[in-house]
Amino acid sequence: MKRILSGALAALFASGAMAADPHPHWGYQGESAPAHWAELDPGFEACALGHMQSPIDIRNAHQADLPEIDFDYRTSQAEAVNNGHTIQVNLPDSGGIEIGDAHYALAQFHFHTPSEEKIDGASFPMEVHLVHKDAEGHLAVVAVMLKQGRKNAALEEIFDTLPADGDSHALHALNPAVLLPAKHAYYTYAGSLTTPPCSEGVRWQVLKQPIEVSESQIEAFRKRYPMNARPVQPLNGREVQESRS
């Protein structure tokens, strides 16, 4: 009985325009928009006070002898989650990346629309963030731009079954390498989470080459999230480096 009642209440709330929000109330529009994130919770102050924030507009990158990103991804069980801010795919056993001496395990990937990072002022229809963590908890994000083009068959199940707000479901086993373009040249800079609490110390790698998704795949995502991108943040003297290949 209890379960039926709470289900009914949940349905009631979900149907109302003024529904109580079960998620932290930051968002992308109105009073919960990025410009107000720091006011919403004392723990979010880095969103306003931080000097190494993400995303950025990548311009005038300096070519450097950067290590290649060694992608060591493998097929993992996968779960798609709608967390109220994006669609996230959790991959508990999907391998990771090495950059120089640093090793990071992949935890999840998720999507933004339009892209958060810009390249020479230009944004892309979507961006995927592959979020990795090393043994000490340091984060490294690999960002891949999504441009409109052919239907991406490897991502078909994800885009065909995007969970509704608060829902999640298992996907077929997935190798996250399907999100990577053929070339792995990248830009890199020191940044932050692009969502509250906007914590800094995040190592960003933005791949130069985009992958393709179809217009209908972009539209499917935008039915769930019409806009979930933080505006670009000031560089504050940070250097953006660019790999040679």
Q: Which residues bind Zn ion (CB under 5 A)?
A: 129
* Vertex 211: Cα angle to 208 and 217 (nearest 5): 140
Shortest separation between residue 3's beta carbon and Zn ion, angstroms: 34
Shortest separation between residue 110's beta carbon and Zn ion, angstroms: 5
Could you tell me which residues come within 8 angstroms of residue 44 by beta carbon, excluding any fewer than 6 positions away? Answer: 26, 37, 38, 196, 197, 198
CA-to-CA distance for 125 and 54, rounded, in angstroms?
18
Catalytic residue among 23, 62, 85, 110: 85
CB-based closest residue to Zn ion: 129
Q: Which residue, 118 or 129, is less far from Zn ion as judged by CB?
A: 129
Q: How far apart are the first and last CA of the chain?
A: 61
Q: Determine whether 132 is an active site residue.
A: no
Among 206, 160, 214, 217, which Cα is nearest to 181's?
206
Q: Which residue, 86 or 217, is less far from Zn ion as judged by CB?
A: 86
Q: Which residue, 76 or 195, is less far from Zn ion as judged by CB?
A: 195
- Enclosing H/E stretch for 219: helix 215-224
Q: Which residue, 129 or 184, is less far from Zn ion as judged by CB?
A: 129
Q: Where are the alpha helices (DSSP H) in 75-162?
A: 156-160
Shortest separation between residue 196's beta carbon and Zn ion, angstroms: 12
Shortest separation between residue 38's beta carbon and Zn ion, angstroms: 18
CA-to-CA distance for 171 and 25, rounded, in angstroms?
28
As annotated, the active-site residues are: 85
